[in-house]
Structure 1
Amino acid sequence: MGTSPEPERATDSFRELRRSNRRLPRRAAVGRRSFVSTLKSLDQLAGFGARISVRVNDLDRGTAVLVGDDFVTLPVAGLGVVPLLIEVAAGFEAGTLDPLEIVERSSTDPVTVGGVWQHLKAPALPLSDLAVLTAATGDATAANLLIARVGLEAVRARIERLGLSQAALLDRFRDERGPDDAPHVALGSARELAEVFAALVNAQAVSPGVSAQVAEWLSLNHDLSLVASATGLDPFSHENDEHGLLFINKTGRDAGIRVEAGVIAGPRAGVSYALIVCFDDLSIMHRLRVHDAFRTLGVDLMEYVF
């Protein structure tokens, strides 16, 4: 793991997206932008046997500022829906999918691993609402219906067109995985996850329209409990932060798996990031130790961008 030289310039596309004013002098934060705390925390997790993949890219310069086994492919749980959302948005833009097409909840097997639709009375929703539920609440039922509508093969083809060689959406969400099921919902690497989020905010994922739509969906995500806990944002309303913080993210959770990828941009800098930790979930203390590492990265990222 390590850091790169101090970034010096901004790309027009990202600066325009942020709609920010002139940045503060970078030299004011040189001494506290080293990710030392994150490195120490991740090294401790590795000492306990955790498998870790981490990547932080400076969006202005397009270079890495923190790297640790970022090429390793690991399970990413619910974060695997990001390519699915990109495929759905591309279908909306191309006209091959109707955002208002109604889908019956009963057309897929019940699944209770996450989300809110299972608790709602509405028996059917349009595809556009399923995308919102998938991005905002990690709704497994909504995601499964999107997978059924577009097909796993279409998502896999989209992953290839995005240039992701270490990513895969293997299966739908299930309450239990049998011997004939894929062992995980999805796989990915921190390097490619960080690159996907950078492409979304820089309007380079498929098209500017598709990028904007997926970024909008992800900006609704309610899970700010890991890296995002350091932002101080309201989990239920953080699209337009009064302090000029641009933030989108997606998390993934499963037994012994914690993942988060996203973008944080402030007045001084912007970064895309991804952290995957696979660990022995033997007790609440093992789990909290992992969560603390995510929050430490969040603090370091906030110091980097402000």
Structure 2
Amino acid sequence: MERINLDERVEWSIEVRDAGSGAMLFDRTPDVVLRTASIGKLFLLMEIMHQVRDGELDLHEVIDRTRMSPECRCEDSGLLYLLEQDTLSVRDLGFLVGAFSDNYATNLLIERAGLDRVQSFAVAQGFERSALLDYVRMVRPANGIGDMSCGCASELCDYMMQLQAGSLVSSEASAQIERWLGADTDTSMAAGAFNVDPLAHWEESEPFRLRHKTGTESDVRCDVGFVRCMPTGRAVAYAILANWDKTRYGDLRDAVLADMRAIGDVMRRHLER
């Protein structure tokens, strides 16, 4: 891939690989562990499908939020806190997580699946430095966990390599996780280079097949996924993680988003060759 000049004020963890050959296309400190905001929800979806595979959970099981811990409620990212409906299936909650990174739906699924189960299965699958660390909390205690998830690009890119190959947990599990992520509406980062319809890009007629998850905090931007160019058949898996020091540098979101979009542009040119 082409050389990319990235903002040096930002902590980066990046890995971009050709999904067919596994060849490294671009990296920047891919083993550095950073805060990843909502990216840890990928491990929640993986554990949900692990339990479905083993018969411990059914995608059509109905979750009644009035019967769950009131601490699960989050009036933040997502739609569920705005809705009147109290009951949703596990499958539908997964779509809220995949499409809108819904924090309320996330917490309901964590409570149902078990945070310890999410964490232990991720480690068992080889994700030793990337994890969902906690529930989503509107305010984090000063002496508690500093962020809801952490990760490094090398492991998160490997997650996407397995997902696009259909080998994450099982072929059926991979297909369901891919379907959830195929509804993601956030194309503000690297994924913006592919100009898909952010609200509807599952259709086979799309020139790019995009499956990804983003994570956002005031000093964090992350985009992790895979994308296939249907005309050429080329595909890449990628993990692009950025953290910065707001106290020292202020708000760098514009610079970070521009750099992430530049990486997406280079990925697109590689895919279209």
Q: TM-score, normalised by structure 2?
A: 0.93
Q: 1:103 touches 1:126 (CA, 8 Å); kept in 2?
A: yes
Task: Give the AA of the match of 1:79.
Answer: I
- Shift of the alpha carbon at 1:62? 0.9
Q: Which aligned pairs between 1:228-247 and structure 2 lie closer than 5 A?
A: 228-247=191-210
1:284 is displaced (CA, Å) by 8.4
Q: Deviations over 1:257-301 (max 9, x none)?
A: 000111011115211001110013479862111111111111111
1:166–1:188 Cα contact (<8 Å) kept: yes
**Residue of structure 1 equivalent to 2:2:** 35
1:295 is aligned to: 261
Alignment of 1:204-215 (within 5 A): 204-215=167-178
Q: 1:175 aligns with which of 138, 143, 149?
A: 138
Is the CA contact (8 Å cut-off) linking 1:264 and 1:270 kept in structure 2? Answer: yes
SS in 2 for 1:293: helix
1:226 paired residue number: 189
Unaligned runs of 5+ in 1: 1-33
Of the three residues 43, 48, 52, the one matched with 2:12 is 52
Instruction: State the Cα distance separating 1:100 from its structure 2 match.
Output: 2.1
Question: One-letter code of the match for 2:258?
Answer: D
Q: What's the RMSD between the two structures over aligned residues?
A: 1.6
Amino acid at match of 2:96: L
**Closer, same or farther in 2 for the Cα pair 1:103/1:180, shift >3 Å?**
farther
Contact 1:51 / 1:277 at 8 angstroms: preserved in 2?
yes
- Would the alpha carbon gap of residues 285 and 75 (structure 1) be closer, same or farther in structure 2, given more than 3 Å must change? closer
Residue by residue over 1:14-50, the C-alpha shift from the partner in whole angstroms, topping out at 9 and shown as x without a partner, is: xxxxxxxxxxxxxxxxxxxx332xx21x1xx21xx21
CA distance in 2, matches of 1:281, 1:241: 41
Question: Which is worse superposed, 137-146 or 157-166?
Answer: 157-166
* Equivalent residue number for residue 13 of structure 1: none
Among candidates 51, 57, 64, match of residue 24 of structure 2: 64
Q: Distance in 1 between matches of 2:173 and 2:88?
A: 21
Once the two structures are overlaid, the 10-residue window that deviates more, 54-63 or 273-282, is: 273-282
**What is the distance in 1 between the residues matched to 2:233 and 2:89?**
40
Supply the AA of the counterpart residue of 1:195: D
Are 1:249 and 2:212 counterparts? yes
Partner of residue 271, structure 1: 236
Within 2, Cα distance between the matches of 1:201 and 1:284? 37
Q: Out of 88, 106, 116, which is 1:153 matched to?
A: 116
Aligned to 1:15: none
Distance 1:122 1:265 in 2: 36
8 Å contact kept, 1:105–1:141: no
Q: How far 1:181 sits from its partner (Å)?
A: 2.6
Q: Which moved more, 1:280-289 or 1:94-103?
A: 280-289
- For the residue of structure 1 that corresponds to 2:252, the secondary structure is helix
Match among 139, 149, 163 for residue 186 of structure 1: 149
What letter is aligned with 1:74? L
Q: Decide whether the 8 Å contact of 1:35 with 1:297 is kept in 2.
A: no
Distance (Å, rounded) in 2 between the aligned partners of 1:56 and 1:71: 13
TM-score, normalization: structure 1? 0.83
Distance in 2 of aligned mates of 1:144 and 1:159: 18
Tell me how many residue pairs correspond in the alignment.
266
- Shift in Å, 1:255: 2.2
What per-residue deviation string (whole Å, max 9, x for no partner) do you get for residues 124-161 of structure 1?
21111111111111000000011111111111111112
- How far is the alpha carbon of 1:103 from its aligned partner? 1.6
- Paired with 1:139 and 1:166, the residues of 2 have a C-alpha distance of 24
1:145 partner amino acid: L
Does residue 74 (structure 1) correspond to residue 34 (structure 2)? The answer is yes
Q: Which structure 2 segments of 5+ residues have no match? A: none
Amino acid at match of 1:298: G
